[in-house]
Amino acid sequence: MLDPFFGTGTTGAGRAEAGRRWIGIERDKEYVKLARARIKPSSAGRGRSRDDARKEQRAAHSFGTLIERGMLQPGEILFDARRRWTAKVRPTAP
């Protein structure tokens, strides 16, 4: 995401906390100092990102739908094309 009027870095701080990429542009040197102090390298990518949580929710919803429609059965074993990785389908919560 590009923020051409970065200011004190509110957008960048939120994106860094969520583990997302961003670019901020600010011409006022005082605002640049404030933004740099606000967004420390150690704060970027802390914990699980919001995108990861969304992806997990989508995956759980997708499998739940497949089970409800009878396309997958609880206990069924899924595997990749080379049969290197396997996963067991678990029942969805009511």
The beta strands (E) that lie in the chain are given as 2-3, 23-24, 77-79, 86-88
pLDDT per residue over 8-52, tens digit each?
A: 999 888 888 888 888 899 999 999 999 988 887 654 445 455 666
Coil, helix or strand at residue 87: strand
Question: How many angstroms separate the Cα of 31 from the Cα of each of 1, 22, 24, 42, 69?
Answer: 19, 17, 11, 20, 55
The per-residue pLDDT for 43 is 46
Look-up of token digits 């949580």 = 53
Report pTM.
Answer: 0.43
Is-contact 24 32, C-beta < 8 A?
Answer: no
The domains of the chain are located at 2-43, 50-88
Distance between CA atoms of residues 31 and 59, nearest Å: 41
